Amino acid sequence: MENYRLENRLGKGAQGQVFLAIDKSDGKKFVLKKVECTDETEATKAFKEAMALQELKHPYICGYKDFFVTWDKEEAAIIVCIVMDYYKMGDLDRLLKKKRKKNEAIEELILKKWCGQMIEALAFVHQRKVIHRDLKPSNIFLTDDLTLSLGDFGVATIMDDARTKARTTVGSMNWMAPEVLEKPYDERSDVWSLGCIILEMATCGFLDTQSMGEVLMGIKQDPARLEEALEPVGKTYSADLSQVIRTMLRRNFQQRPSALELVELPYIKECLALSNSALTGKKKEKEKAAKDCPTDKGIPGVMAFITENKDNEISITKAFKYLNTLQTPQIDEAGKKLIISSMKSSVSEVALQIEACRLLLTLTAAADAETDADDYLFSEEVIRAVILPMKAHPSSRDFQNIACSLLKTIALSEQAAGSIGKLGGIQDILSALRTHPSDAQVCANCCSALSYLTINDKNLDIMREEKGVVDLINAMESHETDSSVMDFTCSALWGLSLEDENVEMMAARGLAKVLLKAITDHKQHADVVKNGCMALSSLVAESEESAYLAHNSEGITIVAEAYHLHKENPDVVEYVCSFFMDLAETEDILEDMKSMSKVKDIIKEVKVKYASNEDIMGNVEMVDSMISGGQPPANRPSSARPKGK
């Protein structure tokens, strides 16, 4: 302490007091932080941890000049002192306050450069087993040339292993990841905090400090709060920036990428390139070194070629492209693992990812999801390899299409469907739906994948939390002339109708009327009619409001007309009758139905035509007894509510 003269106190926080200090030997300014310890043992441990921070030498990390332990007479406590670089330009928090005061946005080029610098710094410290745990704008400093420098690591930041609990709870609540207070966590908690900071930078032109604080606290509980905040961000910045923020702010930390995985995202590579980061790689050299794939040595020869050129993604892309020209290539498990390894090491190469997923789709479609459930193709490793590039290439329609198709096929395995939800695949599919709302093919593939995934109960919970119902209804309203979108959205909405909260959202959006329009516009398409009636039946069974809306929107007439077009199709007939049965549960509507000859005629015809079909006859007999006032069957048949749930 005798080497420094304390000028004035700069601040006080949970970890200690901060002072402006002058080095007596040369007069240079530094920041001196005093961290109070309860006893000598804690001081020794804190000192050892602090000493390790001296190894963090990087252009975007605040320099640590000195560490020492002293006795503070005034506080009557052992103090660990940390001497750090002083930044006269201040910190990011001060800059954001100035921007907010002027309602002035940060230019995207500058924001990208700063993002790259912060992510590079974070990747550097995480590689050295250090977690910051207290990332916030006031801990990010500006140098004279407006480069950012990550600082104030404090103590208790050294990781004991890859996954640890904090020795003490540190940090500020606004930027703290949701898992920090209650669960074991790893370096991805820092990724959440950095995502919050990037969101702050992107919103400083229109959100004040108080509003921003409310958003940061709100997104821990409700993903919809993040989407609300990102809507105006999309008017100023690129869609890729919004997607990066979504990716970093996944509430489940196991679905959140690490800093090193973020480096593989093309948008982040652009950010890194602005500061000439070594993490961007050397693509031009690889283009020159690329080789053509042999076509005369069979699949073993192609696999050997991929292994020999594992560091050249352009050569590997050529190999995958060749394999995709074969009808059904016979690739063993080692070959499948080689494909996945190539995907994981080249996340930023969208052409490679497209060809790899196309190849995996061919292989998965040829497998039997039930008998081959243990096949590597349905493993979590494969699923991870598909969903990470979905985050990396949000603007690539071709990739999002093939990835969603592949996830749908993988989801035919019940166990794999659960894994897709657990690993964040549903959020990635919803993100694709939100990023490409006007692209009918993307929407159809997304909705198709969701219709398979929502058979799983835990996936239903995820869809409810993410308010996926709203996205599906938006897709229906945006693509009302596209029969594929209508078919798959109706199917997915039927599955989601199991959850009461979803039913409330459906009723609030007037889904009954939307479904009836889909049936009307696509009455020639049996699948749309069937799935539309399924969803409609399930909805009116649980929502009286929706039942009245369907009835008042000529629902019975619309469904009756569709029946006459498809009365030879037992699947359509079953759900037409199910709709009538569930609609008749509402007393006022039942009274109207008693006088409708169109309903009576259909019931009479179905009773004769499908007398041996138990699924249909259960619904028919129930409707018949209700509208005739007779004795209902002893066992009421189930409605169109998803079966087996």
Query: What are the φ/ψ torsions at residue 205 (nearest 5 degrees)?
Result: -80, -15
Neighbouring residues of 537: CB distance < 8 A, sequence distance ≥ 6:
575, 578, 579, 581, 582, 583, 639, 640
Name the one residue in this structure whose structure tokens are 């019975």.
Answer: 556
Largest alpha-carbon pair distance within the chain?
103
Write down the catalytic residue from 23, 26, 93, 134.
Answer: 134
69 close to 78: Cβ distance less than 8 angstroms = yes
186 close to 179: Cβ distance less than 8 angstroms = no
Which residue, among 433, 371, 373, 425, has the nearest Cα to 401 in the 3D structure?
433
| DSSP secondary structure letters along 144-199 | TTS-EEE----SS-B-SSSSB--SS--S-GGGS-TTTTTS-B-THHHHHHHHHHHH
Q: Residue 585 CA to chain centroid, in angstroms?
A: 39
Q: 372: how many CB neighbours lie within 10 A of its CB?
A: 14
Work out the angle at residue 475's Cα, subtended by the Cα atoms of residues 470 and 479, and round it to the nearest 5 degrees: 155
Neighbouring residues of 517: CB distance < 8 A, sequence distance ≥ 6:
480
151 close to 139: Cβ distance less than 8 angstroms = yes
Rounded Cα–Cα distance for residues 575 and 529 (Å): 9
Neighbouring residues of 385: CB distance < 8 A, sequence distance ≥ 6:
340, 343, 344
In this structure, is the dihedral angle defined by the CA atoms of residues 619, 624, 626 and 631, taken in order, positive or negative?
Answer: negative
Which residue, among 451, 456, 453, 435, has the nearest Cα to 487 in the 3D structure?
451
Q: Residue 494 CA to chain centroid, in angstroms?
A: 23
Number of helices (H), then strands (E), in the chain: 31, 7
Between helix 380-392 and helix 397-410 the angle, nearest 10°, is 160
Residue 527 a catalytic site member: no
Residue 329's alpha-carbon distances to 22, 293, 361, 380, 427, in angstroms, are 70, 15, 12, 22, 32
Query: What are the φ/ψ torsions at residue 56 (nearest 5 degrees)?
Result: -85, 75
Rounded Cα–Cα distance for residues 550 and 561 (Å): 15
Residue 235's alpha-carbon distances to 139, 199, 239, 262, in angstroms, are 29, 14, 9, 24
Query: What are the φ/ψ torsions at residue 20 (nearest 5 degrees)?
Result: -80, 125
How many alpha carbons lie under 13 Å from residue 275 in its C-beta half-sphere? 25
Q: Which long-range contacts (CB under 8 A, 24 or more apart) does 273-278 make?
A: 273/116, 274/109, 274/112, 274/113, 274/116, 275/113, 275/116, 275/117, 275/120, 275/147, 277/116, 277/120
In this structure, is the dihedral angle defined by the CA atoms of residues 461, 467, 468 and 472, taken in order, positive or negative?
Answer: positive
10 close to 33: Cβ distance less than 8 angstroms = no
Name the one residue in this structure whose structure tokens are 């990716």.
Answer: 247
Residues annotated as part of the active site: 134
